Amino acid sequence: MSTATTQGRPKLIWLFFMHRHGDRSPLNMGPKDKYNDVKYWPEGFGNLDNAGRLRMYKLGKFIRKRYCHFLTDSFREVYSRSSDVDRCVESSQAVLAGLYPPDKSRFKWTNELNWVPAPVHTVPAPDDYILNEAGKEYVEAINREIQLIKQGERVKRLYEDSVIERELLERELGYDFSSFYKFKCTYSTLDIEEKAGLQMPNWYTPELKKRLYQFAGISFALAGGGTERLQQLRCGHLLDDIIQRMQLASVNGPRLVAKSDFQQPTNAPSEVDDRKAVHYSTHDSIMAAVLESLRINDPPIPPGFGSTFFIELYVDVDHEDHPVSDKYLKILYMDDTESENPVEKVLPNCKLDAQGRLTLSSFVEYVRHLIPADNLLNKPK
């Protein structure tokens, strides 16, 4: 479809949102950290806690409020997929609970519980090239890129700028900073301890916290997308998946199958199917990779719990609801869920149309170099 000369009204036809999981207990703790004991973390290490459940439930309610004129009361309009890790699966379920409350709808199945079970799809982590960084056929290639980054100027500068902070953390917590990954781990752990209401040491000052936040942002940026090849490995398949879904999206929305096939084996969705909304639950590493790949993370920040990436897909329509423009999109990012304030992002040096809009075709060209050309594209994802 060519860009229209007829004026029309914008119509939202498809929505994508992907978030980091909610608040969790620590994953990586220094050997001298006095809270490095499971007695302080009743959920166990690395698991979603009550604050995380509440955060994600509220995120779902916010998305419902923001898109109330687009979404219906049926969770069947959304395709939900999660990284196959407990905290991500639980987060996606909490979001769906807030997004699709069964109040006064056909989904109200009991008065005892104002909740409706909604499907969340997963792929085993070693086979997941969209929402988990553990895809087994990419492990060696990712490790090679990380080694290249370790030898680069940005890591050298990071270590030079953090001498005082590293010496302090090595002395007090026993951290080993042999890898720049540890910068994101140290900030995350201390932040979790503080949010959990534990007594923090006197040396953990607001200034130190600010510095660690900056170092963590750099660490995430380097680990997520420090090279173009790493960006491709981390989120090339994710971008390819999103593009295919946007290309499929119809101005009239998805159509239900009119008749059932005899002995239909399953009604599970295909990998890329006709839904009006797509919901992905993932990790900070993937969020950081997407931000770096799209070059919208300057200065780099560590993705917060529940941080959410939105894509709104539009088309202009006439008075009869016929499309009169190419598809175009808006990209938004919300790092702090409590702010409930997604910020629209502009892709640097990306060609826009005459109305200053990001067309789907321009977006495809912008990320084309990141879409993998290997045979993984033809495999189940």
Residue 259's pLDDT is what? Answer: 73
First-to-last CA distance in the chain? 30
Residue 86's pLDDT is what? Answer: 97
- What is the per-residue pLDDT across 67-100, written as a single tens digit (0 to 9) for each? 999 999 999 999 999 999 999 999 999 999 999 9
Work out the average pLDDT over 330-358: 96
- Least confident range of 116-120, 268-272, 277-281, 297-301: 268-272
* Pairwise CA distance, residues 100 & 107, whole Å: 9
Mean pLDDT of the chain: 91
* Pairwise CA distance, residues 9 & 236, whole Å: 33
Query: By C-alpha distance, which of 260, 258, 254 is closest to 274?
Result: 254
Helix (H) or strand (E) holding 166: helix 163-173
- What is the per-residue pLDDT across 132-161, written as a single tens digit (0 to 9) for each? 987 889 999 999 999 999 999 999 999 999
270 pLDDT higher than 80: no
Q: Tokens 């929402």 appear where?
A: 131
Domains of the chain with CATH codes: 9-139+226-254+277-378 (3.40.50.1240), 140-225 (no CATH)
128 pLDDT higher than 50: yes
Work out the average pLDDT over 330-349: 96
* Pairwise CA distance, residues 217 & 302, whole Å: 4
Residue 268's pLDDT is what? Answer: 55
Residue 375 CB neighbours (<10 A): 8
